[in-house]
Each structure stands twice: as C-alpha cells, then as structure tokens.
Amino acid sequence: MHVLPAGSVSTEPADLAACAVDQGPVVDHQLPIAVVWAQSAEDVQMVMRAAHAAGVPVVCRGAGTGVSGGAHATEGCLVLNLERMNRILEIHPEDEIARVEPGVINSDLNAAVAEYGLMYAPDPASYRVSTIGGNIATNAGGLRCAKYGVTRESVLALDVVLADGTLIHTGHRTFKGVAGYDLTGLFVGSEGTLGVVVGATVRLRYLPAALETVAAFFPDVAAAAAGVLAVGRARVQPAIMELLDGHTMAQLDKEQGSSLRSRGAALLLIQTDGYAAAVEAGIIREVLSGLGGDIKAADAAEAVRLVDLRRHSRGAEVDDDFRVGEDVAVPRSQLVNYIHQLQDIADRHGVGLKVVAHAGDGNLHPTFWVGPGDVAKVPALNAALDESIDVGLALGGTITGEHGVGQYKVRWLGREQSEEVLELQRRLKDVFDPQRLLNPGKALPVAPRVG
C-alpha cells in the first residue's frame, strides 16, 4: 500500500492557520482539521480515497494567492496542499509544450522555457508566486492575455485525480484535438470543485523578438479608457494594455518611489511585441497623442520597471485602509461608461475609488476604500461594491473576469446566470463529486434560490 512520505501531514496550529485562508475576503473563518502536502499523484490519490471513505471535505491549495476565497478552509476540511509537487517534468522545444506538476510557480516555468526562446503566455500579476495548478483551477488571466489568451488557451492536457481517487488523463499533447467532450476545458476554472489537478501539459509560445512599451498619461481615467477604444479602432493588437488611475499611481509612488502621479491622473501602459513591435507602437503613439495623451517612449529599463510597477498595483498595499475590490469585465465599448458610473457610485456612498484594469480585455479591478479605522463606513463600502456588480451586469458584463467565484462571489452568481444554468452546473458537479467533498460551498451556490 502507498504510504505518504514523512512530514506530509500537519495539525500544528501555525500550519492550520497559514492554510486557512487565501488573499480573498473571509466570509466564514474556519481552520482545517489538517494540512496534507502531496508530493506525487499517488499521494493525492491516497488522500482522496481516504477522504472519500470518511466523507471528509477537501480544499485544494496552491500558493494561496487567490483573491476570491477559493482556497479558504471550510468546516471540518482537510487542506490538500500541492506546492511541493513542483517539478517541471518535461520541456519539449520542438513540440512547443511543457509538462509540469501543479505546484510549479508560474515564473519558474517561464524562466525555464525562456532558454529555448519560448514562453508560457498566461502571466497573472502574481506570476512570481502563484502556481500553475492554481492558475489552471482559476483560469487565470494576466497582462499579456490581451494578445495570447487566458490560461485555458494554453492548457492542452491534464492529469486529474477525481473525488474517489481515480486518476484520469484528459486532452492531448497536440495543439489541436477534438476527440470526446472538452473535459480539459471543464476542469480549467473549476476552482478545485471537480477534481485535483496533479499534472498539466501546456502549450508554449514564441518569445517575441522585440518588445516596445508606450506609457501614455491622461488628465482623467475616462480619457485613458477612450484611448483603449481608439487603439482598437486602429486595429492594432497590443500584447499588454493596462490602465491605472491616479489613486493607484499615487499609491505606487508612495510604496515604490516612482513619480507617476505628477505626469497625469491616469496611465495607459501598452506593450507591443514581435517583429512589428516598433511599427505598432508608432501607430499607438500617434492615436493616443491625437487624444491628448502625454506620451513617453519608454526605454528598455524603464519599460521593465513600469510593467513591474503595474504588477505591484494590486495586493501589495501595506496601509490599513478598509477596502473591497472586484474584477468585473465589461464589453469594451462600455469601459468609459462603467468607469464614470463607478465614480458616481463612490461619490454617492462617500467612499474612495481606485481602479486598475486589464483594459484590453475590458477587465477592471475597481477598489472602493475608506481611510484607516473608518469602520463606520464599512456598510457604505459594501453597498458601493454591490451596486458596482449590478451596474457591471447591466452593461453586459460578468461578475468575474479572471479571479473566479470562490467563496466570496457565490452570492452574486445568481444575478448573472439563470437558475436553469446553475442547476445544470450542480448536476455536472454531482457527476464528478457525488458526495460533494471537493471544495464545498465554492464556485456555485449550493441550494436553489428560494423565491
């Protein structure tokens, strides 16, 4: 019989606490009964068989950088931690694929394949810390997803341990393949509720021959958002198109020693790549100058620094403001409108607003905030947040562009999807996990809404 390696299980209070929550808002704080670190697919199978036999819920955990509470512990659960399964099993430069264990850190994979002139395209801002398994379970987006697509577009095949411990392989090593239903795609983004990802075959892309970065400063966010549409109308596809508002710039200046805010009240940070990077950047500069943008052609070192700053624009906050944030995505034409409405919501509720956006994809991360200690304003914060979700939906948007539903957004899913669609998903879930042990209470509202 398979035995877990020594040191695989802990019930130490510090370990339980460390694995109790991710970076998302905590709705219902619970400590797991134990944490198990798997080192192999066999370990995972063993854990799942035991959990299945005992009826114990299991919450998978990568790096715990999720921001929707997907990895939050639930009552009486075991946390199955995949971070030690961190081997890159294969890099095949001619097949342009890599096979990895789920605990591999995104940037480690990218560093390893860069030697071959290749990249793993999906690059969440958390790429230096988050795991490929977590990226897959959330269908993570990232900066260069504007051009290269989200995680799903780079995952060819998966090894998955099902709730009863069965190990299956889905998908194909080839770029294309349509044999059977797309189980691979179904597991991507399922937030650990359908199975445990224990291996992945991912597609690699060519590292671009050149990068060109354009930083365009605008007097206000609406003007910057209009710039996004204007670049689209010029039919140029940037690799990266990020928007930062004045509050975000000021905060970065404070934390990182930059001086962005003095240049404007909104920044469009655009990167083109490939052999046409310079030509495309030239067109973009012309378009944005025409809109009144203060354009800067960043030199290579500054470009890296700017993109790096953008990656720090979320999650690194060290002050103790109260804040709530989301990741609504809206159709691109609604970007300007939505930002206006967000500001209006913030004003009416008397709270601050800060926005960063993967603007090329219409995916916004607005944060409503109030000053340190201003606990009386928390209800206003939550009311603003709720309203921002409804407005995003009314504009044809979705409640979550890339962070997942997790635990925190379950209450909103029924505003976006019909009861028939929710019920269909519950029945799918029951096919994979009839005992409902995998990440219970996440991703889907459990019971039908009443009334």
Ligand X SMILES: Cc1cc2nc3c(=O)[nH]c(=O)nc-3n(C[C@H](O)[C@H](O)[C@H](O)COP(=O)(O)OP(=O)(O)OC[C@H]3O[C@@H](n4cnc5c(N)ncnc54)[C@H](O)[C@@H]3O)c2cc1C
Q: How far is the CB of 331 from a second copy (least distance, A)?
A: 4
* Minimum CB distance to ligand X, residue 275 (Å): 27
Q: Which is nearer to a second copy, 234 or 265 (CB)?
A: 234
In order of 3, 242, 361, 394, 414, the CA distances from 353 in angstroms are 52, 17, 21, 20, 26
Angle at 125 between CA 123 and CA 131, to 5 degrees: 65
**Residue 83 CB, nearest distance to ligand X (Å)?**
8
Calpha distance 348→335 (Å, rounded):
20
Measured CA to CA, the distance from residue 32 to residue 60 in angstroms comes to 11
Contact partner at residue 125 from ligand X, a second copy, none, CB < 5 to 8 Å by partner kind? ligand X
Q: Total residues at the site for a second copy (CB under 8 A)?
A: 90
CA contacts within 13 A on the Cβ side of 205: 20
Q: Using CB distances below 5 to 8 A depending on partner kind, what does residue 60 bind out of a second copy, ligand X, none? A: ligand X
CB of 63 to a second copy, least distance (A): 18
Q: 122 Cβ partners below 8 Å, 6+ apart?
A: 106, 135, 140, 141, 142, 144, 145, 148, 149, 150, 151, 153, 154
What SS3 state is found at 11?
coil
Q: What is the smallest separation between the CB atom of 207 and a second copy, expressed in angstroms?
A: 7
Least separation in angstroms between CB 297 and ligand X: 25
Minimum CB distance to a second copy, residue 301 (Å): 24
Tokens linked to 273: 């790549």
Using rule CB under 8 A, residue 275 touches a second copy: yes
Choosing from 133, 134, 189, 441, the residue that interacts with a second copy (CB under 8 A) is 189
Which of 23/258 has CB closer to ligand X?
Answer: 23
CA dihedral 240, 269, 225, 408 (to 10 degrees): 70
Q: Are 306 and 215 in contact (CB under 8 A)?
A: yes
Q: Using CA atoms, how far apart are residues 45 and 178, in angstroms rounded to an integer?
A: 28
Nearer to ligand X by C-beta: 130 or 272? 130
The entry of a second copy, ligand X, none near residue 131 (CB within 5 to 8 angstroms by kind) is ligand X
Residue number of the CB atom closest to ligand X: 134
196 binds, among ligand X, a second copy, none (CB under 5 to 8 A by kind): ligand X
Q: Which residues bind ligand X (CB under 6 A)?
A: 22-23, 59-67, 70-71, 82, 102, 124-126, 130-131, 133-135, 137-138, 140-142, 191-192, 196-197, 314-315, 402-403, 439, 442
Of 408-437, binders to a second copy (CB under 8 A) are 409, 413, 416-418, 420-422, 424-425, 427-429, 431-432
Piece of the chain touching a second copy by CB under 8 A; list 92-100, 121-129, 241-249, 344-352: 92-100
**Least spacing, CB of residue 252 vs a second copy, in Å:** 24
Sign, Cα dihedral of 133, 139, 140, 143: positive
Q: Under the criterion CB under 8 A, does residue 110 sit at the interface with a second copy? A: no
Q: Does 186 bind a second copy (CB under 8 A)?
A: yes
Nearest distance from C-beta of residue 244 to a second copy, angstroms: 18
Measure the CA–CA gap between 283 and 139, rounded to whole angstroms: 32
* Positions in 52-91 near a second copy (CB under 8 A): none
Task: Pick what 233 binds: ligand X, a second copy, none; C-beta below 5 to 8 Å, kind-dependent.
Answer: a second copy
Please check whether residue 80 is in contact with residue 58, taking contact to mean a CB–CB distance below 8 angstroms: yes
Give the Cα-Cα-Cα angle 105, 109, 115 (nearest 5 degrees).
150
Q: What is the CA radius of gyration of the chain?
A: 22
Choice between 151 and 223, CB closer to ligand X:
151
Per-residue mark of binding to a second copy, 211-250 (x: CB under 8 A)? ------------------x--xx-xxx-------------
Of residues 373-412, which lie at the interface with a second copy (CB under 8 A)?
396-405, 409
Work out how close the CB of 424 gets to ligand X at its nearest, in angstroms, rounded to a whole number. 16
Q: Which residues of 305-337 are buried (b: 16+ CB within 10 A; e: fewer)?
A: ebbebbbbbbeeeeeeebbbbbbbbbeeebbbe
188 binds a second copy (CB under 8 A): yes
Instruction: For residue 72, give the nearest of 86, 90, 85, 60 by alpha carbon.
Output: 60
Under 8 Å between Cβ of 239 and 272: yes
